[in-house]
Structure 1
Amino acid sequence: MLCPLSARNASASTVRRALRELFRPSAIPAASLDRSPPIPRSRDITRQRDLHESRPLWAGSPRLALRARPRPSRADYDVIIVGAGISGALMAHALADGTRSVLVVDRRVPVHGSTLASTAMIQHEIDIPLSRLSGMIGAPKARRAWQRSARAVERLSGIVADLGLSCSFERKQTLFLAGEAYGRQALHAEAEARRAAGIAAEYLDAATLAERFAITRTGAILSDISAAANPAQMAAGILRAAMTRGVELVSPLEITDLRATADRAFLATAEGRILSAGHAVFCSGYEFLEAVADKEHAIVSTWALATPPGTALPDWLKTCIVWEGADPYLYLRRTRDGRLIVGGEDEDSAEAYASEKTLRKKAATIRRKAETLLGLALPEPDHVWAAPFGTTRTGLPLIGRVPGLENVFAVMGFGGNGITFSQIAAEIVTADIAGHADADADLFAFPSRQT
């Protein structure tokens, strides 16, 4: 059994010998990162995926470039964050207190992974309605999860305002429409459950919905505490601000191996370098740690499109985002420059998004459904894209310490609230690293591994 290794209080030669022993195959089991090709390796520690197909709307956005270093400036840090998307950006922002040494690494260009494929509907509403979630995990926990999600949206609004970010951030209402999975009665009960939890929700009957929104459904819930943004600009802006407070960004840098001792985490790079940290935080999105792979979550495929700027749309879409109680559900929103972004048609396949033929078919279906819902003809979209998408049984993210790996955290902000969940993760992990218990950490913790 190896003794705990601290790179801070050992001689250089001692550290080198200990690290060689630490990464000897039989010394300590490696944490594998679950990946599918294209990068073949003898051992990968995250599941590597192409995180979007075709060209997402945000790919051509200005102000995405960040001054990343080609290599780390040192070998030892207080915290190493793996992943430079929105999750990694918010984590870096929360940890950058002026005293910690924080390194953010990514094997890609920063903010060019799954963040680039996001439709950035920043909602407090979790994919699983509160009334149904109460039956799954109990009413008190379900209320806490929804309340925490609402607070996270408010805090995200505050971060954008405090940093003065230019990312098309707009506060929105949400219109949740009755559908095949959740009809009129279910939505009425859902609105009551939300109000009982202190979350404002207005139930609209069919007549009111038709009068105010010209939509024909049996009912809907209108709520506040949502937003929309350009997710790539948002992530880049938050990372840029964190870097002014001392956070170091290195890209491209691929982490290929991981070991953890009682007081340190050690990460091997593709170049053969070994980095150490008091804590490692994996914000690698759908390229998640193999150690946290679980039957409770899955990777599916999703599709989206965007119409050209200046599309003729109902005025109410300037202030409202829309989704429906169906499976799969349709969701849509208007951008500041008058595009309509529409997504949906999810499939229970981790690979379907990579098919160009399927992309064309899904885009046509999504466009047709949006036209039917809004009662108008949409122009040919100028952006269509597809991406892998994570789901969990409860619609809740998985956040916290990785079972069996001391000082290693993982963030899996799966579901339709990835940006909202990323803020919750930043709060929970930062509190844990600082030695404080977050009151809601138990809601999102990884299940313990049975040995």
Structure 2
Amino acid sequence: MHIHKGSLYWPSTLQAPERLAPSEKKDTYDVVIVGGGMSGALTAFELIQQGLDVAVFDKRQVATGSTSANTGLLQYSNDIMLHELIEQIGEKNAVEFYRLCLQAMEDLHGVAKKLTIDPEFIYRESIYYASDEHDEARILEEFKTLKKHGFPCDYWNREMLLEKTGIDKPCAIITYGDAEVNPYAFVNGIFKAFEDYGGHIFEYTEVQDIKEDNDMLLIKTSTGDLHAKDVIFTTGYETLPVGERIGADINRSYVIVTEPLDSMPPWYNSAMIWESKRPYLYMRTTVDHRIVIGGLDEPEGEMPLSSERITERGEELKNEIQKLFPELDINIAFAYCATFGESLDNIPFIGEHPQKEHLYYLLGYGGNGTVYSMIGAKILADLLTGKHNPSAHIVALDRTLELEMDGKTVVQ
């Protein structure tokens, strides 16, 4: 499955460190992680710091899958608003999930500070504006809910939003404690630190099968067999080597990155910007004064057959941002299409397989994938070291999905 197509920006910002295969593959590891993207990197780094012997396998070079197409917006708010998530899973679990996301922001910053490769982690505010008058009440309700539960945010009416950002929309929530990152540098930096701790990375090595072998798991790969006590799949939007994808849709989105601007964009504090309608437009800046703009999601997982489609959608994204900022003169430098996954209840899948012991998953489906990856790394570290995690049930693979479809509640 091809998970991106077009010209990617992030790989142009860093020459990935030369990574040689470990001189000797061990016969047995505590944990084998399948997938060398953001989820795999954060999980591997968390586990090796807990004293576990960890190996990571990827069928390509690490950080070149969905990581290369990740737009690097890190936010505690989610694609589903908190007040709507409360209606879906109850106040206690919904608020706890949002608090996990807020804590993950601090945890990601903690990881970034340990790296020798600069991941360009910068704290930013986020501006979440109402796309039209129909969403004004939803935005206000969300602000009240966030404020009630102690989440850092403010509310701007149309006048304040226009004055501070130049955006002429009904209102917006401003959230604090969010951040931007260079995802490609971040993952490469994490894996360098992981190797410094003694971790093993096997690139261009495909995991082909996993079988029980006495009290261990036998892992058959394209370069030989080995054993592990536990296996974690951090395969993102790829086809899973074992089992089936549950409760998720795979879609595609479009992104453009501009040529560097002479000065930073005209909006408030180089904040990250997104909107209430679905699919939504979102944007951020980079350290070299570019703008990253994404959106125009389509309900298909496969990449478009024609590059012209990417060019056309790129021009549409350019037009969308110029509707918000008519005075902005931008030129497209990079344009691409990328696959992304969304769980049906807007929550990631993290935990042990319901029927198969010692097989774990971290599938961070949703617009908050990096934050979900950090949450998952912490939860899995607890589960694999025998610690109780009080939040694990919220994201468990065997949770009941209760969804509203055509006016009826459907349980999956």
Partner in structure 2 of residue 429 of structure 1 = 380
Partner in structure 2 of residue 365 of structure 1 = 316
Q: How does 1:21-100 map to 2 (within 5 A)?
A: 49-69=1-21, 73-97=25-49, 99-100=51-52
1:280 aligns with 2:231: yes
1:239 aligns with 2:191: yes
Partner in structure 2 of residue 264 of structure 1 = 216
1:187 aligns with 2:139: yes
1:334 aligns with 2:278: no
1:397 aligns with 2:348: yes
Return 5+ residue gaps in structure 1 as ranges.
Answer: 1-48
Q: Is the 8 A contact 2:46 2:378 kept in 1?
A: yes
* Alignment match of 1:131 (pick from 74, 83, 94): 83
Please tell me the root mean square deviation across aligned C-alpha atoms, in Å.
2.0
In structure 2, distance between residues paired with 1:378 and 1:137: 44
In structure 1, distance between residues paired with 2:96 and 2:239: 26
* Alignment match of 2:259 (pick from 305, 308, 324): 308
* Pairwise CA distance, 1:419: 0.8
* Alignment match of 2:301 (pick from 334, 346, 350): 350
In structure 2, distance between residues paired with 1:238 and 1:212: 36
Partner in structure 2 of residue 158 of structure 1 = 110
The 1:98/1:330 distance shift into structure 2, 3 A limit, reads: closer
In structure 1, distance between residues paired with 2:148 and 2:35: 38
SS at match of 2:340: strand
In structure 2, distance between residues paired with 1:262 and 1:397: 31
SS at match of 2:64: coil
In structure 2, distance between residues paired with 1:72 and 1:365: 51
Partner in structure 1 of residue 275 of structure 2 = 324
* Pairwise CA distance, 1:163: 2.9
In structure 1, distance between residues paired with 2:171 and 2:8: 32
Q: 1:281-323: per-residue Cα shift (whole Å, max 9, x none)?
A: 11111114252412x2110001100001225543445431000
Q: 1:373-408: per-residue Cα shift (whole Å, max 9, x none)?
A: 122343221100111101112221111112222101
1:204 aligns with 2:151: no
* Alignment match of 1:121 (pick from 65, 70, 73): 73
Partner in structure 2 of residue 111 of structure 1 = 63
Partner in structure 2 of residue 148 of structure 1 = 100
In structure 1, distance between residues paired with 2:9 and 2:366: 20
Partner in structure 2 of residue 226 of structure 1 = 178
Q: Is the 8 A contact 2:32 2:230 kept in 1?
A: yes
* Alignment match of 1:411 (pick from 351, 358, 362): 362
Partner in structure 1 of residue 124 of structure 2 = 172
Q: Is the 8 A contact 1:126 1:396 kept in 2?
A: no
In structure 2, distance between residues paired with 1:300 and 1:311: 35
Q: 1:125-177: per-residue Cα shift (whole Å, max 9, x none)?
A: 11101011111111111111111101001111121123354121111000001
SS at match of 2:78: coil
Q: Is the 8 A contact 1:98 1:246 kept in 2?
A: no
In structure 1, distance between residues paired with 2:133 and 2:356: 39
The 1:111/1:352 distance shift into structure 2, 3 A limit, reads: closer
The 1:94/1:119 distance shift into structure 2, 3 A limit, reads: same
Return 5+ residue gaps in structure 2 as ranges.
Answer: 401-412
* Pairwise CA distance, 1:99: 3.6
Q: Is the 8 A contact 2:295 2:317 kept in 1?
A: yes
Q: Is the 8 A contact 2:131 2:277 kept in 1?
A: yes
Q: Is the 8 A contact 1:64 1:111 kept in 2?
A: no
TM-score (norm 1): 0.85
Deviates more, 1:148-157 or 1:349-358: 349-358
Deviates more, 1:322-331 or 1:160-169: 160-169
In structure 2, distance between residues paired with 1:389 and 1:70: 32
1:248 aligns with 2:200: yes
Q: Is the 8 A contact 2:4 2:303 kept in 1?
A: no
SS at match of 2:342: strand
The alignment-based identity, stated in percent, is 27
Q: 1:226-256: per-residue Cα shift (whole Å, max 9, x none)?
A: 1111101000001100111110111110011
In structure 2, distance between residues paired with 1:448 and 1:72: 40
Q: Residue type matched to 2:389 in 1? A: D
In structure 1, distance between residues paired with 2:217 and 2:249: 27
In structure 2, distance between residues paired with 1:133 and 1:378: 39
